[in-house]
A and B are shown apart, each in its own frame.
Chain A
Amino acid sequence: GQQVQQSPASLVLQEGENAELQCNFSTSLNSMQWFYQRPGGSLVSLFYNPSGTKHSGRLTSTTVIKERRSSLHISSSQTTDSGTYLCAFITGNTGKLIFGLGTTLQVQP
């Protein structure tokens, strides 16, 4: 089965609403990463988060490593936030990332 479960699979918001995206891991991990995938396909790293809470503008990532979960909070969503949000954990000592299927976010004006 999937080692990384993301929920919800898709989400539609009105501009200005907040979003909470979840990521659960089926195995123990040392660190994880959140990515934004643009509609054109390119990947942008949002957070590298071994544990705890990190902030970047309207984005907040909270990771509880021992509970094998992470969340991404988007506040005051904008249409430009539309795209797919991917989480992944790093496994082994070769830098290999295991990805989830992602949450597809659509923010409507």
Chain B
Amino acid sequence: DPKIIQKPKYLVAVTGSEKILICEQYLGHNAMYWYRQSAKKPLEFMFSYSYQKLMDNQTASSRFQPQSSKKNHLDLQITALKPDDSATYFCASSQEGGNNQAPLFGEGTRLSVL
């Protein structure tokens, strides 16, 4: 059974709309992350949270807002969607945030913006 659940697996949206990508982890981890993978680009770090607090934000646009309603949840709200937002979004988690932790990744949500 997958321990990091991302929903939905596939998502199609129209330009200008808003979507929420869901991530739940059942590993008892305290740190959670979002990454994005666009065509022809490396996997790109977006956010890290530790104990439901934002630790690092590498996303320039305020259209991307993480939401942590519970310790094991880190959803990603994206507003005013653009075609350039089309990518696969991966959620990850680790026991603690830090440089000696190996994060585990979810299966990803593939977003297409038309």
Interface string of A72-109 (1 = CB under 8 A from B): 00000000000000101011111111111110000000
Report Cα–Cα, A92/B101, bound state, in Å.
Answer: 12
Partner of B43, one of A2, A30, A31, A86: A86
Contacts of B35 in A (CB 8 A): 97
Given contacts A94-B50, A101-B42, contact A31 B56 (CB under 8 A): no
| Cβ–Cβ contact B31 & A43, under 8 A | no
Contacts of A86 in B (CB 8 A): 43
Given contacts A41-B110, A92-B56, contact A50 B42 (CB under 8 A): no
**Cβ of B69 under 8 Å from chain A:** no
Size category, B interface:
20 to 34
**Cβ of B66 under 8 Å from chain A:** no
**Cβ of A27 under 8 Å from chain B:** no
Given contacts A41-B88, A41-B110, contact A30 B56 (CB under 8 A): no
Contacts of A94 in B (CB 8 A): 48, 50, 55-56, 97-98
Report Cα–Cα, A94/B105, bound state, in Å.
Answer: 16
Report Cα–Cα, A41/B109, bound state, in Å.
Answer: 10
Partner of A31, one of B37, B99, B107: B99
- A residues bordering B, Cβ < 8 Å? 2, 4, 30-31, 33, 35, 41-43, 45, 48, 50, 86, 88, 90-102
Q: What are 16 A-to-B residue pairs whose CB atoms are below 8 Å? A: A42-B105, A43-B90, A45-B104, A48-B102, A86-B43, A90-B101, A92-B99, A94-B50, A94-B55, A95-B48, A95-B94, A96-B33, A96-B48, A98-B42, A99-B43, A99-B44
